[in-house]
Chain A
């Protein structure tokens, strides 16, 4: 039904251009006929059947839809009229058919509908056309088309209409589906069926007549669509009937009952109002379930109740009650008794220290800090957080201001302070002091000054005691070497070696003096700048002096007897490199390292027996005699490979045993009884074997700058070294190359150390003006025991001048006496 209706509507709209236009329907019929003819499929019988069907349909339509009656009637009328016309003039139709070759799209679309409506008329015209093809009817003018074919122009048909619609007959535009815009430029809008122009309705400038415009501006006309009528060029408006029809169709589409008399908008009746009605609206009785409790709900409630009872559901209130009622009341430590032992890594927080008397509200008065001591008060407050205060009575005690802060700080300490296990040393500090034999038991050792050798006008740089133990030689910066009789302190001999007031004075100093250990000679070696002078002071008597002089002079004889032993760089004991050997092998003549010169007259006046000139621009700092008195070693620290020179007295020969410098040489000593030599550079001591020409030991002292070294005269395996950085280092050659003991007791640089030749004593002196005496026991009989060193005495006497204290010391060969000399220009004898 719905589809059907829509088709009707489409028909309606198609017909709107000319509702009652018979021409249109005619043309439709024509077109259909053409198709029929072309296809030639249908036979009459079928067509008739179709007509029947169509008729019945038509009737149905009429029956079912009263609204359409008029329209259908119209079509009927048209049909009838056509029949009549066909009957009257069948040629008309055919001519039309011929003329109307072009079919509009609209017509084709509506073909089926139209066919169903008009099929009853199909038969006759078709035949008539065929029959009357060549006939020329009267009133028809013959012309030819452009292609020369015949063209008949028929006279205007004057249909005789009974209907009212004929009043508004208007020519039908035949432009088909050509868009109307094509004619915009034209004065006409198309052509009617006869090919005459349909003129455009009169319009104003804006495309509309002024009156129309005015009317439109006032009010839209009824049925206004805003479209342009294709046929007329005017506006296309719907008639009231059409509007009505559309409305009804829409309602039908919505499924509403299209009752003619029904009110679409009836008044609202407020049935369920606040007013109490007399009669009930519904008369259904209330069901039973409304009056019976719900079993389902009961089940659900019970479920919750059970859960609450069993404690599966707890409410906040209950929790609070439980907490308040003290569900926590049980013995936490009830189950086990064992003592927990803290893990080693677990450290308990220390307790707060107990309060002390200072904190008392009524402390003893001495705890109160008087107001004068503001600084002390502040200090106390900073460390303790309060000031000791005394209150006469308990009632006067105020509240403490820092309670909260102190507790807060304690809690911070508890959780924020790192904890460390610290082992507190619970020992008596005195127990740290080593157990040593008392110095009283280790006597004799020098304890006091018994003689002061005064006379030098400048610092006494060096001193030595003669092997007989009677004569003390001192060398001083005033240019003199003096010999003293030790028992009386009398100066027995003095020689001025240089004079600082001289013009040619070259800043050389007397750096060292050393007696020849052979007590039958009385030779004194003096280091003066780069010269080594040998003197025999005239204090011993002729025999001894002569002996000494002879010993010196014998060497000249040796050299004159043709022995080519001029002092030269003879290959020495340097095992570290063989440069020296190489040099020797090449036989390259080197300048002699030293020359032994006979004394000049001036020197002879000064009792100088020989002067050995070491050809280096560096002064001799240290001299050491070999114990037999034939060899003498000198040290010139900065002379590179020739820093150490060994001079042989008997042959007047000088050797430089080392081919390559080991650095700045600070000291050099012969071993007391082995053919060995120890050489101290600034940090290291090297011990060489002179026979094997090999390095025996390298001792790492750990000091920054050594000053002197000393072999132990009896146990030759021990070396002590002193350093300018205040250390005394005891090296045991059997115990590896690190010091056995490092002692620091001088407050300033240590200058010299010395062992007593026979007694177990040694001493050190330094720039702090002190001399320290030590006892040392080597336990020569018991090899398992370590060396015992006992500090015995601090000797104080020398004055420190210009930051220089005691410069040199030496022991008496037999007695426990010590000689020292210092920057105060004196030498002292220290006796027990």
Chain B
């Protein structure tokens, strides 16, 4: 006979631990535990058998994986938290005594990576052992940072520094994306603007909210978001460093906001203004920039020279692959500098962006697709006048334009979005100022698979289905006599009398009959399915039907709208 097993020592009971137990085990406060979980990416689990995991109790509790908690036990941050606690005790003591000087001194003399300035490098590495994994999880990171970059700095709720840091990092990210021309998709939604790019095979999608003051709900615990932000800013910092240094740029870049100086009419300078307000301090352009420290500059120059050479070599080393076969087959795909067609979409264009157009969206997109942009808003405060000679497109968002230049295409901003999503230029006449715009569709399509552009085919389907519905309604009336009729028919058939089926209605009926026969056969077959299979089948059918209904509804609505228009 085997040894008698004690209850709750194996399996679920052993593998999972409740939150209270975890906190007790780690000897931290709930707040610290939360912080730790956010930093380390520890999340609750759903054990397969909750009752077993909770040692027989069915009370609702959160479970954590036991090994996760064990793993947290060895976290150096845990000790930092404890140190921070004692530090805060001292600080509050001083402050309560009114010894502000002492408190200041204590605060100034705290150690590196102490009290708020956690060093999270190792955690980033642990959570993302490879760079691709970090890129995979960059969506949430960017969303959060862009949100915070958009928050007001004057609000007391959030530290000024945090917001500045967020805006710096996001700016660096956007600079990288524009410089590498990575933008693939853009979607202007009512929530904000979605952008998508692919880096190292990972699709990264982020949202930038519109530049309006954010609505700050009062019932939200900003501590949680700030904890996330702390981790995300560390993550993005390292990702950016890697991206910049991999592309041969120096990180951190000095992003300069150029001021337009009326006196200085140096051509080069003015061109730079035209190209971008945000200029990258990349290795290629080191000469033009002055850095604060001499040493740093020397180092940069050294780096720059190396990068410079590399870049030049790379540029030249784009080989041309020739087709050596005599019989010409498919064209060989030539390597290009940029991966996507979007990268060179606006290569030869210069855009003049009207004042009413939100500059940060449009300028970013144009630069990211190789175009040049001149912003009307930039010239507001200066006497200098924009150079309109090269301008090919004028993006404006007002119904009426008084002055129009020849050779300039006037368009609404949506032209830019739709062109980028399409990968080629949209006809500009659809987007003329003041015109009713074609619908702006999501490049990720529809959730239920409805295609708003599919026109005629869908019409037929709808009509067919409607007719069917009518038929069904008729059938219901006839149902009583159906058997009799069928029997009669059969009898007639047996007698050798065949009815002419030239009539269209009859044809339809036959079709329907066939269909119903099929359905019946399926129903009969379903009898032989096991209960489990039947449930699964019904569930699938249900969800499919929901989708179909939704699509049908949309189609119907579209038809109605079209009918009204006619």
Cβ-defined contact, B45 with A365, below 8 A: no
Q: How far is the CB of A139 from chain B (nearest CB, A)?
A: 95
List of B residues within 8 angstroms of A691 by Cβ: none
**Contacting residue for A340 out of B128, B527, B529, CB 8 A:** B128
Residue from the set B399, B441, B486 with the largest chain A CB neighbour count within 10 Å: B441
Cβ-defined contact, A417 with B44, below 8 A: yes
Cβ-defined contact, A351 with B139, below 8 A: yes
Given the contacts A359-B190, A361-B190, A399-B210, A319 and B441 also touching, CB distance less than 8 Å: no
Q: How far is the CB of A354 from chain B (nearest CB, A)?
A: 3
Cβ-defined contact, A326 with B445, below 8 A: no
- A407→B37 CA distance, assembly (Å): 18
Cβ-defined contact, B520 with A361, below 8 A: no
- Taking CB atoms and an 8 Å cut-off, the chain B residues in 532-555 that contact chain A are 533, 536-537, 540-541, 544, 554-555
Q: How far is the CB of A280 from chain B (nearest CB, A)?
A: 42
List of A residues within 8 angstroms of B117 by Cβ: 319, 323
B522 in the interface, Cβ–Cβ < 8 Å?
A: yes
**Contacting residue for B224 out of A411, A772, A790, A791, CB 8 A:** A411
List of B residues within 8 angstroms of A345 by Cβ: 65, 67
- A389→B190 CA distance, assembly (Å): 8
Cβ-defined contact, B147 with A407, below 8 A: yes
For B117, give the chain A residue with the smallest CB separation.
A323
A794 in the interface, Cβ–Cβ < 8 Å?
A: yes
Cβ-defined contact, A362 with B43, below 8 A: no
Q: How far is the CB of A820 from chain B (nearest CB, A)?
A: 14
Of A291-299, A429-437, A476-484, A710-718, the one with at least 4 CB within 8 A of chain B? A429-437
Count how many pairs of residues, one from A and one from B, have CB atoms less than 8 Å apart in the complex: 281
Of A104-112, A165-173, A225-233, A328-336, the one with at least 4 CB within 8 A of chain B? A328-336
For B443, give the chain A residue with the smallest CB separation.
A354
Interface string of B143-185 (1 = CB under 8 A from A): 1100100000000000000000000000000000000000000
- A406→B220 CA distance, assembly (Å): 11
Cβ-defined contact, B188 with A316, below 8 A: no
For A316, give the chain B residue with the smallest CB separation.
B108
B321 in the interface, Cβ–Cβ < 8 Å?
A: no
B356 in the interface, Cβ–Cβ < 8 Å?
A: yes
Q: How far is the CB of A387 from chain B (nearest CB, A)?
A: 9
For the side of the interface on B, what is the size category?
35 or more
Cβ-defined contact, B537 with A429, below 8 A: yes
Q: How far is the CB of B127 from chain A (nearest CB, A)?
A: 9
- Taking CB atoms and an 8 Å cut-off, the chain A residues in 452-475 that contact chain B are none
Given the contacts A330-B241, A407-B144, A791-B524, A355 and B109 also touching, CB distance less than 8 Å: no
List of B residues within 8 angstroms of A81 by Cβ: none
List of B residues within 8 angstroms of A745 by Cβ: 527
For B196, give the chain A residue with the smallest CB separation.
A354
- Taking CB atoms and an 8 Å cut-off, the chain A residues in 243-257 that contact chain B are none
**Contacting residue for A360 out of B63, B111, B188, B486, CB 8 A:** B188
- A329→B117 CA distance, assembly (Å): 16
- A811→B174 CA distance, assembly (Å): 81
- A265→B524 CA distance, assembly (Å): 132
For A360, give the chain B residue with the smallest CB separation.
B440
Cβ-defined contact, B525 with A348, below 8 A: no
Q: How far is the CB of A355 from chain B (nearest CB, A)?
A: 5
For the side of the interface on A, what is the size category?
35 or more
For B234, give the chain A residue with the smallest CB separation.
A328
List of A residues within 8 angstroms of B436 by Cβ: 392
List of B residues within 8 angstroms of A393 by Cβ: 397, 399, 412, 437
Of A418-426, A548-556, A801-809, the one with at least 4 CB within 8 A of chain B? A418-426
- A796→B189 CA distance, assembly (Å): 55
Cβ-defined contact, B112 with A366, below 8 A: no
Cβ-defined contact, A365 with B128, below 8 A: no
List of A residues within 8 angstroms of B191 by Cβ: 355, 359, 386, 400, 402-403, 406
Q: How far is the CB of B184 from chain A (nearest CB, A)?
A: 13
Cβ-defined contact, A425 with B536, below 8 A: yes
List of A residues within 8 angstroms of B486 by Cβ: 448
- A355→B452 CA distance, assembly (Å): 15
- Taking CB atoms and an 8 Å cut-off, the chain B residues in 433-455 that contact chain A are 436-437, 439-442, 444-447, 450, 452
- Taking CB atoms and an 8 Å cut-off, the chain A residues in 763-795 that contact chain B are 772, 789-794
B372 in the interface, Cβ–Cβ < 8 Å?
A: no
A577 in the interface, Cβ–Cβ < 8 Å?
A: no
Cβ-defined contact, A743 with B528, below 8 A: yes
**Contacting residue for B522 out of A399, A415, A433, CB 8 A:** A433
Cβ-defined contact, A386 with B524, below 8 A: no
Interface string of A707-726 (1 = CB under 8 A from B): 00000000000000000000
List of B residues within 8 angstroms of A319 by Cβ: 110-112, 117
List of A residues within 8 angstroms of B511 by Cβ: none
List of B residues within 8 angstroms of A813 by Cβ: none
- A365→B537 CA distance, assembly (Å): 34
Given the contacts A348-B136, A425-B536, A429-B540, A405 and B524 also touching, CB distance less than 8 Å: no
**Contacting residue for A364 out of B65, B251, B441, CB 8 A:** B441
A416 in the interface, Cβ–Cβ < 8 Å?
A: yes
List of B residues within 8 angstroms of A417 by Cβ: 43-44
List of A residues within 8 angstroms of B136 by Cβ: 348
List of B residues within 8 angstroms of A416 by Cβ: 43-44, 62
List of A residues within 8 angstroms of B450 by Cβ: 357
- Taking CB atoms and an 8 Å cut-off, the chain B residues in 102-116 that contact chain A are 107-112
- Taking CB atoms and an 8 Å cut-off, the chain B residues in 199-227 that contact chain A are 205, 209-210, 212-217, 220-221, 224-225
Interface string of A363-393 (1 = CB under 8 A from B): 1111100000000000000000010010111
Cβ-defined contact, B121 with A332, below 8 A: yes
- A393→B487 CA distance, assembly (Å): 65
For A327, give the chain B residue with the smallest CB separation.
B112
- A422→B246 CA distance, assembly (Å): 37
B298 in the interface, Cβ–Cβ < 8 Å?
A: no
A488 in the interface, Cβ–Cβ < 8 Å?
A: no
Interface string of B509-531 (1 = CB under 8 A from A): 00000000000111111111101
B242 in the interface, Cβ–Cβ < 8 Å?
A: yes
Cβ-defined contact, A791 with B527, below 8 A: yes
Interface string of B469-490 (1 = CB under 8 A from A): 0000000000000010011001
Cβ-defined contact, A791 with B525, below 8 A: yes
B252 in the interface, Cβ–Cβ < 8 Å?
A: yes
- A328→B123 CA distance, assembly (Å): 14
- A358→B117 CA distance, assembly (Å): 42
A338 in the interface, Cβ–Cβ < 8 Å?
A: yes
List of B residues within 8 angstroms of A411 by Cβ: 38, 140, 144, 224-225, 228
- A397→B412 CA distance, assembly (Å): 14
**Contacting residue for B190 out of A340, A352, A386, CB 8 A:** A386
Residue from the set B34, B221, B238 with the largest chain A CB neighbour count within 10 Å: B238
B358 in the interface, Cβ–Cβ < 8 Å?
A: yes
List of A residues within 8 angstroms of B344 by Cβ: none
List of B residues within 8 angstroms of A572 by Cβ: none
List of B residues within 8 angstroms of A433 by Cβ: 522, 525-526, 529, 537
A-B contact sample (5 more), CB < 8 A, given A348-B137, A408-B225, A411-B144: A315-B108, A357-B439, A395-B398, A414-B228, A434-B528
Instruction: Give the top 3 A-B pairs by smallest Cβ distance, nearest first.
Output: A399-B212, A340-B129, A316-B108
Q: Which residues of B contact A (CB under 8 A)?
A: 34, 37-38, 42-46, 62-63, 65, 67, 107-112, 117, 121, 124-125, 128-134, 136-137, 139-140, 143-144, 147, 187-192, 194, 205, 209-210, 212-217, 220-221, 224-225, 228, 234, 237-238, 241-242, 245, 251-252, 356-358, 397-399, 412-414, 436-437, 439-442, 444-447, 450, 452, 483, 486-487, 490, 520-529, 531, 533, 536-537, 540-541, 544, 554-555, 557-558, 561
14 contacts between A and B (CB under 8 A): A332-B242, A338-B129, A351-B205, A360-B441, A366-B558, A395-B398, A400-B190, A401-B215, A404-B216, A407-B225, A412-B224, A414-B228, A419-B45, A432-B529
Q: Which residues of A contact B (CB under 8 A)?
A: 314-317, 319, 322-323, 326, 328-333, 336-340, 345, 347-349, 351-367, 386, 389, 391-395, 397-408, 410-412, 414-420, 425, 429, 432-434, 436, 438-439, 448-449, 743-745, 772, 789-794, 796-797
